[in-house]
Structure 1
């Protein structure tokens, strides 16, 4: 890549968004934008999020509520699976944007078109971007859609690399789960002290005010909205998201809708807690580009198994195990088993099953 490529220069996800947005503006006209990382397993937005020239609270919440609960054109969940990971509202509707509930909301804010893309790596969504144009401008065209689509893989790969573990301290304070309750229409009504504690650890970003005396980040309320989408059979993805804290730790948010009397819709219960190791194994394996088999072998190495023991456990040859270990070392940039374990497991991100003195973290 070029020496001054904003993708390789970026220090973290937020820095990536600001650099790439500035460079992109040199080639594509847009009046507002929203960039966000996503949970690669569910596609739900997570921290960090960077919003330009939009209300970072109410507008963002209404946008994602509409995305998950109403009829839209080219939803992100479809772009994540599409051959082309980008599209534009007017272009994809044949200049009949009124078919989209999202457009009707945007029009009320003076916006006339949206170009959106999913930032993919390894066939998984690691981020999303939406570019907006004000009324009076020309709609986005095919050349601009193609330009943004061509950036998807490199941006997705860079976002994936930022998920690698750092020397993050353990989450201080309580380890008990936090809980927030929402009414069927999405109003937050109850919160426990543990949830307040975890919310205070999350980075700054778009948030919604609440009657609970605390602002609720879009990533948290978005998970509750996704639970409503699942309950109404509008979406089959899990209402679960992993969020990185200010100090590099990880928190998991998951939500589900409860039933009231006679099967009527009840409140939505959202749990927020330290991310269990079983949640983090897949995302960190993806961050290093490890295959499923390489992840299995890495976990066996962490348990102290010899090459022949790993081969017997996985029903493959010792030669194949050695080939996998060399690939694992290359991907994680280590030169020994000890380095590998220190880099990936000492942060207690992954479960070390059957290892003497090991602690069980979360579900296995």
Structure 2
């Protein structure tokens, strides 16, 4: 399946391998597990991980895996992509769970006015003006490209969209 993901990166085959090679080199140099994200040419977010395959220290083999980003990871991606603060990311998660300002405030132990301040900051960073625009923006940018694809038990897409399977 990793080869399928790499093929969907587009471009020259040597260039497609660069993120995986870079992650492996970064792991080899630091010794710390590497987790990074990348996006396929058709818009799917992937999580790339590099770590130790065996217990032979720095001389040991490195494994690199690619997997589709799960819904919770998409929120983390959006957080990083738009440079949201920790509190803004928390508010975003609650907004995506369809909670009201009052409910978010109760859960986060802040006033609804503070929630609104966080929302204004999120809107400014994403270039939207309302909750509806926020959700629509995230839907069209991160979900719609996969609409119609089978969904796995964890809520992530497991294959190609139906319209792409049966042209």
TM-score, structure 1 normalization: 0.36
Q: How many residues align?
A: 147
Select the residue among 195, 203, 207 that pairs with 2:14. Answer: 207
Matched, 1:198 2:5: yes
Name the residue aligned to 2:51. 256
Name the residue aligned to 1:332. 126
| CA distance in 2: counterparts of 1:343 and 1:302, whole angstroms | 12
| CA distance in 1: counterparts of 2:2 and 2:83, whole angstroms | 33
| CA distance in 1: counterparts of 2:38 and 2:82, whole angstroms | 18
Cα shift readout 1:116-142 (whole Å, capped 9, x = no counterpart): xxxxxxxxxxxxxxxxxxxxxxxxxxx
Matched, 1:344 2:138: yes
Matched, 1:279 2:73: yes
| CA distance in 1: counterparts of 2:75 and 2:107, whole angstroms | 20
Select the residue among 2, 6, 23 that pairs with 1:223. Answer: 23
**RMSD across aligned positions (CA):** 3.0
Q: Where does the alignment leave 5 or more consecutive residues of structure 1 unmatched? A: 1-193, 209-215, 230-234, 350-357
| CA distance in 2: counterparts of 1:255 and 1:328, whole angstroms | 32
CA shift at 1:207, angstroms?
A: 2.2
TM-aligned CA distance change 1:255 to 1:295, over 3 Å: same
| CA distance in 1: counterparts of 2:25 and 2:37, whole angstroms | 15
Structure (1 or 2) with the greater helix fraction: 2
Select the residue among 92, 95, 100 that pairs with 1:306. Answer: 100
Q: Which has the larger radius of gyration?
A: 1
* Cα pair 2:94 2:104 within 8 Å, conserved: yes
Cα shift readout 1:315-356 (whole Å, capped 9, x = no counterpart): 01111112222222232222322221121246349xxxxxxx
Q: Where does the alignment leave 5 or more consecutive residues of structure 2 unmatched? A: 145-152, 158-167
* Cα pair 2:49 2:66 within 8 Å, conserved: yes
CA shift at 1:285, angstroms?
A: 2.1
TM-aligned CA distance change 1:312 to 1:343, over 3 Å: same
TM-aligned CA distance change 1:259 to 1:238, over 3 Å: closer
| CA distance in 1: counterparts of 2:38 and 2:143, whole angstroms | 16
TM-aligned CA distance change 1:296 to 1:269, over 3 Å: same
1:48-127 to 2 correspondence within 5 Å?
A: none
TM-aligned CA distance change 1:239 to 1:329, over 3 Å: closer
CA shift at 1:205, angstroms?
A: 5.1
* Cα pair 1:302 1:345 within 8 Å, conserved: no
